[in-house]
Amino acid sequence: MLQPNVTGDGDARLTVRFWMLVLATGVAAGLLGAALMWLLFSVEHAAFGVNGNQGGFTDAVTAASPWRRTAPLMIAGVFGGVAWYLLRRFTAGQKSEVDEVLWTGEGRLSVPRSVGTSIISEIVIGLGASLGREAAPKLLGAVAGTVFSGWLKMTPGQTRLLVACGAGAGLAAVYNVPLGGALFAAEVLIGSMNLPVVLPALVCSATATWVAWIYLPRDLTYTGIADYGYDNRLLVWALIAGPIVGVLAAGYIRLIGWISHHRITGWPSLFAPLVAFGILAALALEFPQLYGNGKGMAHEAFLGIGTVGLFAALSILKPFVTALCLGSGASGGLFTPVMSTGAVLGAALGSLWSMVWPGSPVGAYAMIGAAAMIGAGMQAPLAALVLVLELTGSGLRMMVPMLVATALATAITRWIDGYSIYSARLSAAP
């Protein structure tokens, strides 16, 4: 049997022209990602007084008065409802879902619809909607691949690979996770870890991350996380918690799939975001951590800040409000909302475990839970593990329990349904 990685490039030949487009796509993904984050940070500053790209979104929301906290979401509901309705009406039939065009088409996206979706999404998320900020840069990175491949008449295989590399590069650029972005492109979007896939993905993500540094910080997304070490408590807990996370992840995926297939369309979608965001605003009067993509609540869980009751409440409410936003017709990412749910779930279960076998920090359980939930949710354990490591700069010393929990959770979710947070939404793309 020949070594698989030296038998050829498959249906996407890695020609000189293709490598030129990989670099061009990486540059475009980095620039577009930085521009979208500038837009997001500008909206956050105007709405809540957040200090640019220095973070502190949850702190700013928490410190705001009830009226200052609620008004931006109401504005988002009105703006989002009208903007998405008009965009979908005038771009009907055009594609703006990366997963859909890669898995069911030739990888070609609509530029007008994708640009419009991305801008609206970042504005609404900046105003507090419970969705991930990575969907827009992922989409525009993929659009760059679509445009460049069309200019140079790439084959369908080359186009799909370039689009996937661009999507992974967009994720890498805005979260400063070049290796995680490359693995996302290969493991999630292409579903192959062969060299002809991995090499372009690595180059594209590295290029995008480097280019995005012209505006975005080079720091870790989650700073100040301790270098948690291995302990037998963590390994035993991982053996128990992994299957639990897997079952709950399957339920989360089913919720996302159901809400995506039954999302509100037509003229009622003009008002649905206002209702959904109003419910979110009411819940967030008590739980301000629900605003935005969930970065703040994940960060607090990684630091071990919070009570078991708070962690448990957030692990239930975050999936609910995220599904509510999606069901109203809003567009946005799921990576951080799902990962943050895993973080607070891990912190809650870890806090309970510490009552039985004390000694390990809550933050360690949160990191293991985050990796397990996103691995099961994306059905991509390698990408999940690397993303958590790159986002936090911690976790290498407790890699064994992280691997055990993530592998068990992913296997259980796969056994129950086999869908991911991306594939469950496929046929519901508007």
Residues 316-346: pLDDT tens digits? 999 999 999 999 999 999 999 999 999 999 9
Overall number of domains in the chain: 2
pLDDT surpasses 50 at 428: no
Exposed, middle or buried: residue 105 (CB in 10 Å: 0-12, 13-18, 19+)?
middle
- Could you give the percent of the chain with pLDDT greater than 70? 97
Same domain, 202 and 254: no
Indicate whether 145 belongs to any domain: yes
Mark whether 241 and 180 lie in a shared domain.
no
pLDDT tops 50 at residue 261 = yes
With cut-offs at 50, 70 and 90, classify the pLDDT of residue 3.
Answer: low
**For position 105, what pLDDT does the model report?**
72
In a domain, 272, yes or no: yes
Looking up residue 373, the CATH number of its domain turns out to be 1.10.3080.10
- Check residue 333 and report its DSSP letter: B
In one-letter notation, the amino acid at residue 184 is: F
275 and 419 share a domain?
Answer: yes
Q: Are residues 197 and 258 in the same domain?
A: no
In 3D space, the residue among 183, 148, 134, 191 whose CA is nearest the CA of residue 27 turns out to be 148
Torsional sign, CA 73, 78, 83, 86? positive
Closest by CA to 372, choosing from 391, 390, 385, is 385
Res 247 pLDDT > 60: yes
User: Model's pTM, two decimal places?
Assistant: 0.94
More confident site: 104 or 361: 361
Let me know if residue 412 belongs to a domain.
Answer: yes
Report the chain's mean pLDDT, rounded to a whole number: 94
Whether residues 127 and 245 fall in one domain? no
Task: Locate 198 and state its tokens.
Answer: 């991995």
**Shared-domain flag, residues 112 and 260:** no
Question: Which structural domain, as residue segments, surrounds residue 268?
Answer: 232-428
Q: Is residue 6 part of a domain?
A: no
The kind and range of the H/E element at 97 are none
- Tell me the chain's radius of gyration from C-alpha atoms: 20
